[in-house]
Amino acid sequence: MASESYLSKFNDIYDKTYLDLLKFVIVKCHNINDTNDIIQETYLELWNILNKKELSDINIKSYLMGIANNKIKKHYTILKKIKTISIFEKNDKDIELIVLLEDKINIENFVIQKDNWNTIWQFIKSQKNQDIPKVFYLYYKLDLSIKEISKELKVSESYIKNLIYRTLKELQKNFGNGGISHD
Amino acid sequence: MTNKEKLKNAIEQDINPTNNYNEIITKIEKERKMKKENNLLKWSLVPICLAVFISGIIFLNYKNDNKNLYENKPYIDKENNITLNINDLSKVGMTSLDADIKTVSGLNIPYPFKVNANQNEEWFIIPSDLTQTKNYIVYTKKDIESNEYNVIANYIMLITDGNERSIEVKYSKDQEPLRDYYFSEEDSKITTINGIELRIYKYEKSFYTIFSYNGYNFDIETSNITEQEFSDYLVSILK
């Protein structure tokens, strides 16, 4: 078993930092499927450091983000980066779509044929434009606002709304039962 | 449950803090186990490395000892009064023969070795495949102006297998036999056989030796004869 004193300290850091680190990795990574690996590698390195030296006088959260940043850099070769570059225009300013999303398109309006949200999430993750699963994670899982997501991802709000709108339409087409229902 | 909550659940199942934590702890344990095994392997390698190291030292010492024995130390046979030194040459100085000569074959030539009534030529130890013996006389001119080759320079006894293996014995009473190569005698070691001093040189597949014996000056050159065959031959003729 891992040393009890180190484990206790590690558990404490893990509980306090997990969500922030997760958000950081989701935003920074090139593919959301790598999130778990990067998080595990980051904490594993922290564990090894904790076993070697005392980290009492540092901001552990920033320290952990630094480790994660290095892990992300190491994780992606240039080739991987090229493969995941999106051809989707990030500065799309389609005002109509924003209005549509705000007023009519809502995830709750979808009637899903089978209650299979795991498959839907896998479908979202498999999109070539990896901003799509990132936005969905930040918007639906972490409850960040469009504005907050736009700041985190450094993209326009319209681009985010456009992504959500188009993806929801795509989901309805593939998993819906008779199209979008408007209440 | 709303669609949003259902999607949240699906995401939660995929990227889950508890699952990640368990994975991290499993990896930590795996790393610790690997480190332990590596340490065990490392320490188990120590005696192996030590054994290899000691074997290496023993081997090198053995090799050095043998090197001294065979390359630097002479072969000594006190019983037969022999101290054999072979001077291994990296190169042989070649020169053109500074004399006009004429070689005449098929003649009876004087026999240079000691022979008594009970001994004959076959008594000498010659490799069994060297079955052909040819005799030559080498003549030179009296002087440069002379047209006649009438001065005997030396005799040659060529013992050969008819192919590449041979022992060529050149000898002369009054002077050293003519030859078209030279050796630097500096630092060369002397061989002693039955009290007769001679210098033996080795170059590639040939042995050369120069010595005086029984009132003759000898110059022997071999081709494709082994060291053992050559030393046996020398010991047999210098008895």
Q: Transcribe B147-215 into DSSP letters.
A: --EEEEEEEEEEEE-SSS-EEEEEEESSSPPP-SEE---TTPPEEEETTEEEEEEEETTEEEEEEEETT
Q: Of all residues in chain B, what percent carry a pLDDT higher than 90?
A: 13
Distance from C-alpha of A123 to C-alpha of A119, rounded to nearest angstrom:
6
> Tokens for B108?
């009876």
User: What is the tens place of the pLDDT at every residue in A1-25?
Assistant: 456 777 888 898 999 999 999 999 9
Cα of B73 vs its chain's centroid, Å: 14
Partner residue opposite A14 with nearest CB, options B3, B12, B21: B21
- pTM here? 0.49
State the average pLDDT over residues A62-81. 81
Q: Is B141 exposed, middle or buried (0-12, 13-18, 19+ CB in 10 A)?
A: middle
Q: pLDDT value at position B238? A: 84
State the average pLDDT over residues A87-93. 47
Interface test with B, best of A71, A117, A175 (most B CBs within 10 A): A117
- Domains and their CATH numbers in chain A: 4-83 (1.10.1740), 95-175 (1.10.10)
Interface test with A, best of B1, B3, B16 (most A CBs within 10 A): B3
- Reference B211, options B190, B229, B225; nearest CA is B190
Partner residue opposite B17 with nearest CB, options A18, A108, A110: A18
> Tokens for A8?
């206790």
The residue with greater pLDDT, B120 or B7, is B7
Q: How confident is the model at residue A83 (pLDDT cuts 50, 70, 90)?
A: low
Interface test with A, best of B25, B26, B31, B34 (most A CBs within 10 A): B25
Partner residue opposite B10 with nearest CB, options A2, A36, A118: A118
User: What is the tens place of the pLDDT at every residue in B23-36?
Assistant: 999 988 888 888 87
State the average pLDDT over residues A79-103. 51
Q: Of all residues in chain B, what percent carry a pLDDT higher than 70?
A: 80
Distances (CA, A) of A28 to A72, A85, A130, A153: 8, 13, 11, 8
The answer to whether B18 contacts chain A (CB < 8 Å) is: no
CB pairs under 8 A between A and B: 68
Boundaries of every domain in chain B? 3-70, 75-237
Residues 91-110, chain B, touching A (beta carbon < 8 A): none
Distance from CA of B38 to the nearest CA of A (A): 17
The residue with greater pLDDT, A101 or A57, is A57
Residue of A nearest to B27 (CA): A44
Q: Is the dihedral of CA A11, B31, A29, A120 positive or negative?
A: negative
> Is the pLDDT confidence value at A94 over 50?
no
Angle, CA A72 vertex, CA A66 and CA A73 arms, to 5°: 90
User: What is the tens place of the pLDDT at every residue in B101-145?
Assistant: 667 766 677 888 776 556 555 567 889 899 888 888 888 887 777
Q: Classify B194 in phi/psi space as left (phi over 0), alpha (psi -120 to 50) or beta.
A: left
Mark yes or no for CB contact B23/A40 under 8 Å: yes
Candidate from A161-165, A178-182, B25-29 with smallest mean pLDDT: A178-182
Q: Name the fold adopted by B75-237.
A: Protein Transport Mog1p; Chain A (3.40.1000)
> Is the pLDDT confidence value at B22 over 70?
yes
Q: Is the dihedral of CA B53, B58, B60, B61 positive or negative?
A: positive
User: What is the tens place of the pLDDT at every residue in B159-216?
Assistant: 999 888 999 999 998 888 887 766 667 777 888 888 888 888 888 888 889 888 888 8
Partner residue opposite A44 with nearest CB, options B3, B7, B28: B28
Residue A112 DSSP class: B
Distance from CA of B1 to the nearest CA of A (A): 10
State the average pLDDT over residues A99-105. 54
**Mean per-residue pLDDT of chain B:** 79
Mark yes or no for CB contact A2/B17 under 8 Å: no
